[in-house]
Amino acid sequence: MTTLTAPDKRLRVAVIGSGVSGLSCAWLLSQSHDVTLYERENRIGGHTNTVTVPGADQPVAVDTGFIVYNEANYPNLTAMLEHLGVATKPAMMSFAVSIDEGALEYCTQGLSAIFAQKRNWARPRFWRMVGDILRFQKEAPRELAELERSGETLDAWLGRAGYSALFRDAYLLPQAAAIWSCT
């Protein structure tokens, strides 16, 4: 193995982007190297952007780009926050959908929330979607390696596996949009 530089030599490192990943890299690398952080926006934070909105009694700070943080899924971020002395709080994880100006709404925070719209109890398509959600959560992890190997698209697999259009449009697409901060 060839070493490009001596281990004790300080390097000049450029980090592009000041989102959480860029800031984390810059912080860690700065422990032993000279780091320059480049950001095209006039603020740091990337997706995470705190804005102040009017509240009932006082202004409220809202993080617009950050969906959720939990220690189990972000061990490196957790370690950095602990090192910096930043306190965290547990967050409730749920997912809510409203489609076509409220024509279809549900939330994943328990059975009563799934059927918050009482008419969903009588909708066979909705029941099919709920069944597809449960089936997807069981099947998808098993199928992932094969899908990656074959190059089959998710949409093609959903069709071949018999998932409903409502599952795709009212669950999977909104879920992906939420995870990747899309609208």
| pLDDT values of the chain reduced to their tens digit, one per residue, 183 residues | 555 556 678 999 999 999 888 998 998 899 999 999 999 999 888 877 888 999 999 999 887 776 677 788 788 888 888 988 999 888 777 789 999 988 999 998 888 889 989 999 999 999 999 999 999 999 999 998 888 999 999 999 999 999 999 999 999 999 888 777 665
Residues 77 and 112 in one domain: no
How far is 50 from 3, CA to CA, in rounded Å?
A: 42
Residues 71 and 133 in one domain: no
Residues 111 and 173 in one domain: yes
Residues 133 and 174 in one domain: yes
- Specify burial of residue 180 (Cβ count, 10 A radius: 0-12, 13-18, 19+): exposed
Quick check: is 7 in a domain? no
Query: Which residue segment(s) compose the domain that 17 sits in?
Result: 13-84
User: Which residues have C-beta within 8 Å of that of residue 39, sequence separation ≥ 6?
Assistant: 17, 18, 22
Residues 29 and 68 in one domain: yes
Q: Which of 58, 84, 110 is the last residue of a domain?
A: 84
Quick check: is 91 in a domain? no
Q: Which of 50, 84, 118 is the last residue of a domain?
A: 84
Structural domains of the chain, count: 2
Quick check: is 175 in a domain? yes
Q: What is the pTM of this model?
A: 0.64
Quick check: is 5 in a domain? no
